[in-house]
Amino acid sequence: MPDLKDCKSIFPRMASRILDEVMMDAALIKELAGVAKDTALLQGVLMRTKESPNSSELVTYAPFTLFPSPVPKSVFLQALSVQTHFNTLVDKISQDIDFLQEALASTIEVDDFTARLFKIHQQILKEGRSQSIVLGLNRSDYMLDQREDQTSSLKQIEINTIAASFGGLSSQTPEVHKHILKVAGRLEESQRILDNNPAAGLARGLAKAWELYGSDRAVVMFLVEEVQRNIFDHRYIEGELWKRNIPTVRKRFDDIYKTGSLDPDKRLFVDGKEVAVVYFRNGYMPQNYTNEQCWDVRLMMERSQAVKCPDIGTHLAGTKKVQQVLARPGVLERFFPDQPQAVQQMRETFAGLYTLDMGPEGDKTVAMALAEPNRFVLKPQREGGGNNIYGSEIVKVLREVRGSTERTAYILMDKINPAPIENYLLRRDSPLVISNCLSELGVFGAYVRQGAHMVMNECVGHLLRTKSSEHADGGVAAGVAVLDNPLLV
């Protein structure tokens, strides 16, 4: 693992200045951490507590870094500029019945969750889609792989096409870091913290879909989890919609099961209100479907005239198996036959991805992973963090499944190795210690299509999450990563 010296060579200004002078001044750090937490509370960087996850009586700050993390400007701009292509790609995949069928064929044999989603997809195709408006709100995540020459290259971790979070809170964190840098006497750096407002951009997409649906009384329904610690992140988006006089409601699967129905025209009504848009902030992992009724509700919503964000095809387009298939030669070209530049831009961000399908190619992947497990990440078809397999665990799992179709539930990916940066992670009741950190950059995309016509296709902001390098996996909600901001260098 490179030490601080290497970091300095990549990020000379930030690393040497903040690390050496401010970072090592224990008294100043303590003072800054106090100011930072108060500022986060003032700015509404909030989260409910573990103890009372469904109450706002007592809340805390969402975990965040004391300082912003250096990100090379060129790589940051690269991530922003490729986003509208990824929006288009996801949207095209979602409509390509043959592609999804082929890409997911081996996965749905062994992965029950993907198989259930796929079954809904099949049923909708049989019945015919009842809504031609499509809304996509996604987040493409990246890490910066450190090259041998000390420069870094942008590598995509995954695209989240369902329930991508932290667009709300990341609209508030820039003010916190601006303030902290000022208090730390770093006015120049403070002025370089970028404004960011994914909440407004995501809401713009929701508002456009609502408008096209065309009923003033209809609501935007947030499908929410039973446990809602991250409610404030949603509230920013709700707020943006209410500013436009667009009504929003929050419903759980169970609420919809009890009070939801389709009328003869397949309009969706929940608790007496017509639903124009269903915005999924739940339903992305098996545990979200606690009983069969949840699946009934998912199917009812998919069949309905409501605009789904995402619809079932778009949800499936975000699976890790699809990501692996996209990295195969010629596949991007299939979706962008006349746009070699767009293809190149997207492909540049792809890390090595390898199939574990049965046959010689999959056998080769197994052998490669067993020979050098530390070079790879083994991924099942899961979302939400904490599911990936690393190092010696890869060997254990692959030895168990290598001979059977069970292995096709996974894909293998090159491990990305970002340069670690020192920072302080501020988390409730955690000691104030310096950590060796890795960051992950997310870029939010929003698009709306009506029939064959793209009505909106935008990059609407970014998210930087940082975690201690001890943790291989896990996001902010999983309690591993914390919110951060890029300081462009």
3 state DSSP class of 253:
helix
- Which of 37, 234, 303, 415: binder of ligand ADP (CB under 6 A)? 415
Q: Any catalytic annotation for residue 211?
A: no
For 189, the token pair is 């750096």
**Phi then psi dihedrals of residue 59, to 5 deg:** -125, 170
Q: Which of 175, 240, 302, 383 is catalytic?
A: 383
Distance CA 316, CA 296 (A): 18
Nearest approach in angstroms of CB 393 to ligand ADP is 13
Shorter beta-carbon distance to ligand ADP: residue 199 or 438: 438
- Which of 180, 351, 356, 412: binder of ligand ADP (CB under 6 A)? 351
Q: Which of 8, 17, 92, 158 is catalytic?
A: 158
Q: Which of 165, 170, 282, 417 is catalytic?
A: 165
The answer for residues whose C-beta is within 8 angstroms of residue 86's C-beta and 6 or more apart is 138, 140, 159, 346, 445
Q: Which of 328, 397, 390 is nearest to 366 (CA)?
A: 397
Shorter beta-carbon distance to ligand ADP: residue 47 or 416: 416
Q: Which of 239, 352, 384, 479 is catalytic?
A: 384
Q: Any catalytic annotation for residue 383?
A: yes
Question: What is the DSSP code (8-state) at residue 394?
Answer: H
- 387 near ligand ADP, rule: CB under 6 A: yes
- 385 near ligand ADP, rule: CB under 6 A: yes
Q: Any catalytic annotation for residue 229?
A: no
Q: Are 437 and 195 in contact (CB under 8 A)?
A: no
Pick the piece of the chain touching ligand ADP (CB under 6 A) from 146-154, 253-261, 326-334, 378-386: 378-386
- 389 near ligand ADP, rule: CB under 6 A: no
DSSP secondary structure string, 324-377? HHHTSTTHHHHH-TT-HHHHHHHHTTPPPEE---SSHHHHHHHHHHHH-GGGEE
Nearest approach in angstroms of CB 368 to ligand ADP is 15
- 282 near ligand ADP, rule: CB under 6 A: no
DSSP secondary structure string, 411-464? EEEEPP-PPPEEEEEE-TT----EEEEEEEEEEEEEEEEETTEEEEEEEEEEEE
- Which of 357, 440, 448, 486: binder of ligand ADP (CB under 6 A)? 440
- 483 near ligand ADP, rule: CB under 6 A: no
For 382, the token pair is 């899961």
Pairing of strands 482-484, 453-468: antiparallel
- Which of 33, 96, 473, 488: binder of ligand ADP (CB under 6 A)? 473
- Which of 175, 225, 383, 484: binder of ligand ADP (CB under 6 A)? 383
- Which of 43, 88, 136, 141: binder of ligand ADP (CB under 6 A)? 141
Cβ-count burial 285-317 (b if 16+ within 10 Å, e if not): beebbeeeebbebbbbbbbbbbbbbbbbbbbbb
- 413 near ligand ADP, rule: CB under 6 A: yes
Residues that bind ligand ADP (CB under 6 A): 141, 143, 157-158, 351, 377, 379, 382-385, 387-388, 413-416, 440, 473, 475
Residues recognised as catalytic: 139, 158, 160, 165, 320, 379, 383-384, 465
